[in-house]
Chains A and B, each alone.
Chain A
């Protein structure tokens, strides 16, 4: 009997103590919480440091996606770059797992700390390339795939990528 009463009183005491501690609850949305840059929220497509579309439509994000919510079609631009003719993410399916970002060889696709995606109509959760593409480099500022790859594009000839030698002259006679 006494034991039970002490327990009750101790509980009441603890609760009373909380009256004087700092509240954890924040007044969202008036007050925004801090989310780390690596937080996995709404997905964007970024541009390389030169301001060109980064995505080369390699399809690796699409195949990595566990819920298959990325679809795209590759095309080739006038200058020889591969790019997505369309790029669609169905966010009503996306589980924000980040596998796509993990798979992307060009740092094009990135998850952002924005999780506020609410719609009355699920169809509005389908984002096309124009909704996904941002103008900056996102989290990774320096990487430019076309400076590394051997594929030549206008303005970057064979032999001009990182770590490449001048193209070989096949008809040269020197040993």
Chain B
């Protein structure tokens, strides 16, 4: 390892790093703006200047940029010499020439990297007396606020947005001191990852719009380590609360799950926590169908009476914690517990688990995904189902560039040089999907195929890799197979991705075949399969692969086996058609529902119990890579809201059930679950238990500057209650404790002296950009790469398009396809009504144009009928038509989860016809902050 000299002191540093990284890793404070640990250096801001000396005799030295200077053995630098410091001070002063007098009214204030760096270099007085440049702001959508005056032209935003995240609609415009970072005109930022601009921009140009209108400074937020419940990726988050409201969600660094970035569903999708539809008190339905609020004693007694006779079935939830599901399963008995998937989804998730367990391929984390040098995606639209993976794939295609750079002996952090070198050359990424996907722009090729054909393609690739002949593929497809085989077989770290998103088990199985065939050739292939919800995989692990489904429970209830149904945090009306779910719930005499939100299922309950959300409760969730992760309550639940596990535990205690006699704490349930379910034995390692103390004290949820403690509730009483004691975790609901050197799973916020912004993260990392000092959060449950192979698989018959009949294929949307994101006010503005996508030829055939209505009916083919009853209305939905020429022939895409699609099921055969009397939506007007709306006029 090279030894460098900094200010007379010798340090051993890691080779291949630049001086800035090395200094920060050594704990030396060197100011910077444009360098970012995930994006490398371009040397644009000139802030990280140091003086480098040729040798010990050299007294003059020369100024170099730390972020552009490789560390070489024997190099001599000065950080604190007058010349370097004077230069850095002058740079900040020049960056501040046009900076507005905004800090008090800037949502970045108090966690602003520019503030920190200004203080760090000691710049105090403004010498320039000229006039400041000003800019007009743009409307960038309901999520992100724009205040262009505050820009210091570091270029981080465009480098992130365009180069890293692949966005196209944000750019640097104009030149010299007119440079402007924005869109060509007002409009919603199109990237699914635009929210990261808030954390990437070192100033207050991009801020969180909902936060700006209900602002709390970082030091006043109470926060706790949490896990995103937006999808199965399990990104680590830091929700911040004040006055009982989640004010914002920031990224919590986890080197193996989400790194520095979140997607917008995760960042802006926690609004449901304080939605007005949240239940506050237990409600018991009275005779006229209305609900009477009761207290928790009455509620528990009622539960006891309902569950004691024993004829109870339970439906769990793939979005609730492992512990709550485990308790419900214990309450109702293993054979009476359904994991809570829809009947279509259950076999898919079970297959995902089986494939991952049986496969010889590795189940990758985000860093290994980024290291893949050839990628094949079968059927899944990852940007909309597990968005963070799509962002990682955009990095994996750059491995070609890194290879080219290695030949020229360029370091990996030399971002500008490497991008110039590689231009458009990328590692191979092949996508077979039902239609276009947002990753197409970096794909070598995207082929549109019906799900069955995707499975056949996958199967043929697998056979080809294994050197077996396969003759039954059409010629153009056969060519594709050859190309993909060459790419995958020639790669060192090939990655195959698929998921439940296209609704086909055959596609999943085919992905398993391809990965396994690669392993058979001795290549360490990776297999990554997406599942829909935050704990989907956890449910599969909990129940194993032959748990009862919803239909089975309904039949058994109808035969009199059950009286009572307990539903855990699950809106069943999203899991089947209204008729099916009505029938299911109707088969029980009483339905007890635990849920946070008033939805259609809670409205059909006999007793509804208010469950705490993820932000108010402890819980373990298992992500799609089989990582058990723990989320902690950010604040205490209001009114009678309690975590589901508390309700269920109390109910079983009330029933005096033997199994729960020794369970008192949340951790006891985790341990009991680990002891009972072999597949979940590892979950206790996800995070330290509630006895853990950090150097003898708890870890504070509040910063040491947390203000207003003696005034916040003084309007109620001046007698201040004791701070609540958290009996379930090692975190404290106060500012007392030690937020340093703790295990990685227990990081409630980042702050270090002199570093108030999120850039202080490097003080918590073992080395800059590397894992946290306390270790990476979470415990992997799936033993990767030790399976015996997925066994044989017979590809389905080729899909045949028939005139007048379409196969429904799912089209996922990042906002609205899941259950919760559309409940956040900002995202709700971006959720559109449901639609049907067909190709132009089909549209012409049906006589519709974009925006017309289409009636979807059960499919009828050439006289033959299937599930079609004559004489009744076979209409499934009436939706807006969208024309998309990339749709696979014979397929019609429907928007999953959006309004109006409840009765549509993936892969169902349907007929389409033009809807009469359809009211077209009026064309959308670009919103603007300039209308004197409730947002005020931020011109």
What residues of chain A have their CB less than 8 Å away from a CB belonging to chain B?
A: 56-60, 62-63, 65, 67-82, 88-90, 92-93, 105-106, 122-123, 125-126, 128, 145, 148-154, 157-159, 161, 163-168, 170-172, 175
Contact = CB atoms under 8 A, between A and B. Distances in A.
Interface in B675-725: 705-712, 714-715, 717-718
B935 A76 contact: yes
Interface of B: 100-105, 109-110, 131-137, 147, 149-150, 173-176, 178, 180, 182, 212-217, 219-220, 242-243, 705-712, 714-715, 717-718, 932, 934-939
Contact of B707 (A59, A93, A150): A59
A149 B134 contact: no
B174 A88 contact: no
Contacts of A122: 718
B180 A168 contact: yes
Interface centre among B134, B147, B173 (most CB of A within 10 A): B134
A126 B100 contact: no
Contacts of B213: 75-76
Contacts of A57: 215
Contacts of A168: 133-135, 174, 178, 180
A63 B212 contact: no
A152 B938 contact: yes
A122 B220 CA distance: 26
A78 B935 CA distance: 7
Contacts of A65: 707
Contacts of B175: 175
B134 A158 contact: yes
Given A63-B220, A151-B147, A170 B104 contact: no
A93 B105 contact: no
Given A90-B718, A168-B178, 11 more contacts: A56-B104, A58-B104, A62-B220, A63-B219, A69-B710, A71-B712, A148-B101, A154-B932, A168-B174, A170-B173, A170-B182
B723 to A, nearest CB: 12
A82 B937 contact: no
Given A78-B932, A168-B180, A71 B131 contact: no
Interface centre among A57, A71, A145, A172 (most CB of B within 10 A): A71
Contacts of A77: 936
Contacts of B100: 149-151, 161
Contacts of B149: 150, 158
Query: Which 10 A-B pairs have CB atoms at the shortest separation, nearest pair first?
Result: A150-B100, A71-B708, A58-B104, A71-B711, A62-B707, A74-B215, A90-B714, A68-B709, A80-B936, A165-B131
A69 B104 CA distance: 20
Contacts of A79: 932, 936-937
Nearest to A168: B178
A164 B131 contact: yes
Q: Chain A's interface: helix, strand, loop or mixed, by majority?
A: loop
A70 to B, nearest CB: 6
A175 B718 CA distance: 63
A122 B715 CA distance: 11
A89 B711 contact: yes
Contacts of B133: 165, 168
Contact of A165 (B105, B132, B709, B715): B132
Contacts of A56: 104-105
A11 to B, nearest CB: 49
A88 B104 contact: no
20 contacts: A57-B215, A58-B103, A59-B217, A62-B220, A62-B707, A68-B709, A70-B708, A73-B243, A76-B935, A80-B936, A80-B939, A82-B104, A88-B714, A90-B714, A123-B717, A128-B715, A150-B102, A158-B939, A168-B134, A170-B135
A63 to B, nearest CB: 5
B215 A82 contact: yes
A57 B242 CA distance: 15
Contacts of A171: 173-174
Contacts of A165: 131-134
A63 B629 CA distance: 34
B60 to A, nearest CB: 37
B1 to A, nearest CB: 43
Contact of A126 (B105, B147, B216, B714): B714
Nearest to A64: B707
Nearest to A86: B715
A159 B133 CA distance: 8
B937 A154 contact: yes
A67 to B, nearest CB: 6
A163 B132 contact: yes
B672 to A, nearest CB: 41
Nearest to B939: A152
Contacts of A76: 212-213, 935-936
Contacts of A151: 100, 102, 105, 147, 938
A1 to B, nearest CB: 62
Contacts of A161: 100-101
A117 B131 CA distance: 47
Nearest to A60: B104
Nearest to A63: B707
Contact of A92 (B147, B220, B718): B718
A65 B110 CA distance: 16
Nearest to A156: B939
A105 B103 contact: yes
Interface centre among B174, B216, B937 (most CB of A within 10 A): B937
Interface centre among B101, B105, B176, B707 (most CB of A within 10 A): B105
Nearest to A128: B715
Contacts of B174: 168, 170-172
A38 B705 CA distance: 27
A157 B714 contact: no
B136 A126 contact: no
A123 B707 CA distance: 20
Nearest to B136: A167
Nearest to B211: A74
Contact of B710 (A67, A123, A128): A67
Nearest to A68: B709
A93 to B, nearest CB: 5
B136 A106 contact: no
Nearest to B934: A78
Nearest to A158: B134
A46 B707 CA distance: 22
A166 B134 contact: yes
Interface centre among B103, B173, B711, B932 (most CB of A within 10 A): B711
A163 B711 contact: no
A30 to B, nearest CB: 32
A69 B136 contact: no
A57 B715 CA distance: 18
Nearest to A87: B711
B715 A70 contact: no
B104 A106 contact: yes
A161 B710 CA distance: 37
Nearest to B712: A71
B718 A163 contact: no
A145 B105 CA distance: 10
Nearest to A92: B718
Contacts of A69: 708, 710-711, 714
Nearest to B179: A170
Contacts of B212: 76
B718 A78 contact: no
